Amino acid sequence: MEHSVVVMGVAGCGKSSLGAALAQAEGALLIEGDEHHSAANLEKMRQGIALSDADREGWLDALATELHARPRHVVLTCSALKRAYRDRLRAAAPELRFVFMQIDPAAARARIEARRDSHFFSPALVDSQFATLESPVGEAGVLRVDALAPLQQLQAEVSAWLGREDRR
């Protein structure tokens, strides 16, 4: 895996699961984006308060710093909901690729409800995630996958795509 990749999408799409599987399969470093949120951001999300662009500034700075320090062979999990957020990460690692885990609101809500006792993200925020999402489909270096596909299938699909991208 020559290039680094961001596994992105709304909450509940499976970013962490695919990111971990992909990093293991590719022997890459996994950076879990949620671990870089401030305590204030985490508390807001627990309370069902959507983050603003201003709230995300420090988080995106931290992720960009991580990518700049290691521009290759990294798997980053990050919602990257807006084009401006993705462009900010691309500026830190110009060869960056994105895997967009596409999911419908009902499936995302069901997944978030199922992990309610073990994760900070409030199910009340699902609608705001979809309202904020600017689809990356059509942007260079983006692969769209079906978030409801089996994890092993997703990992194999992404690994194959990254292999083709690396040969360019």
Q: What is the pLDDT of residues 31-63, one digit of tens each?
A: 998 888 878 887 887 777 877 889 889 999 999
pLDDT, greater one: 80 or 94: 80
Report how far Cα 50 is from the mean position of its chain's Cα atoms.
Answer: 17
Distance (Å, rounded) from C-alpha 43 to C-alpha 71? 30
Exposed/middle/buried for 16, CB within 10 Å: 0-12, 13-18, 19+? Answer: middle
Phi, psi (deg, nearest 5) at residue 69 = -70, -30
Q: Torsion angle of alpha carbons 116, 117, 121, 126, nearest 10°?
A: 10
Q: Which two tokens stand for residue 93?
A: 């690692």
Quick count: other Cβ atoms within 10 Å of Cβ 152? 10
Task: Give pTM, 2 decimals.
Answer: 0.89
Ordered domains of the chain (ranges, CATH):
5-166 (3.40.50.300)
Average pLDDT taken over every residue of the chain? 89
Taking alpha carbons only, the member of 139, 114, 14, 4 closest to residue 70 is: 4
User: Does residue 136 contact residue 142 with C-beta atoms inside 8 Å?
Assistant: yes
User: Is the pLDDT confidence value at 65 over 90?
Assistant: yes
